[in-house]
Amino acid sequence: MQTIDVAAAESLLAFWRDAGVEACYVDAAVDRTHVELPAPRKAVLKATASVAVAPNASECIAEARHAAQAATTLEALMAAAASFDGCGLKQQGARRAVVGGGPPDADLLVIGAAPGLEEDDSGDIFAGKAGRLLDAMLGAAGLKDRAYRMNAVFWRPPGDRPAAPEEQAACLPFVERALELLKPRAVLLLGAAPARSVLKSAETVMALRGDWREWRLGEGNVSAPVRVTLNPVFLLKQGQAKKQAWADVLAVAARLDGAGRDAGSDIGPHTD
């Protein structure tokens, strides 16, 4: 009788789970490389060829903007974003949408890149070790209970890859509507992905951080000062960069409080 390596089997099952496998045995074979788009944006097959036409990106963005503008509260906005079908990530193995949350009167909006494994499992934004590091930084700066947290895209990308530009664009109207409804006094962007989405900038995080930028919506008179900092996931891998991120968080706290906190301080939060 063949013996089973329990540890190896558990590791393989965990890999399959993270890859989106939901069953080991089914009655009929299923092609899981094919993604069925939701109506009414199913790909249209040309009569003279077997090539499918991709859904119109501008149409998806227009639908997102319509759904976002219809929301008059942050709670309604989060629900509308979670039920939106126009972002392709929703059909690529994510378990749930992880949009955002926080106090409705927050004076700081913190925007991360995308849900990871912990967020996809729990449904909680900024969960896991990176989230605990962020909470420690915000708490040490007196900002934890003053921050509304949100993702730039709302579903976990397969393998935690960076979200594609079209995936970010489909979610951006909801992020912009959050700015309109919340009217924060400052915005903190965590890493390159939200910086590209919000600021439409191709600059690196290191080029963007250290200075205040402006996020101004194309319609209306809504804007907010923006500070770009390093993604907490990166900080877990490159601990020496925590000092720079801590300086950015202190700069945000100083702007909100109108006080001269020492942004060059070496004293900052730590997590195990």
- Contacting residues for 262 by C-beta, under 8 A, at least 6 apart: 250
Are the C-beta atoms of 77 and 100 separated by less than 8 Å? no
CA nearest to 114, candidates 128, 133, 135: 128
What is the overall mean pLDDT for the chain?
Answer: 83
Higher pLDDT, 203 or 264: 203
Predicted local confidence at residue 57, as pLDDT: 81
The label of the residue with tokens 């906005």 reads 77
pLDDT tens sequence across 90-121: 999 999 999 999 999 999 999 999 999 999 99
H/E element holding 61?
Answer: helix 57-70
- Contacting residues for 30 by C-beta, under 8 A, at least 6 apart: none
Q: Which two tokens stand for residue 95?
A: 């378990």
Predicted local confidence at residue 221, as pLDDT: 83
Predicted local confidence at residue 50, as pLDDT: 34
Which domains are present in the chain? 59-257 (3.40.470.10)
Averaged pLDDT, 1-13: 62
Are the C-beta atoms of 156 and 119 separated by less than 8 Å? yes
pLDDT tens sequence across 58-68: 889 999 999 99
Are the C-beta atoms of 174 and 68 separated by less than 8 Å? yes
Count of CB atoms situated within 10 Å of the CB of 131: 21
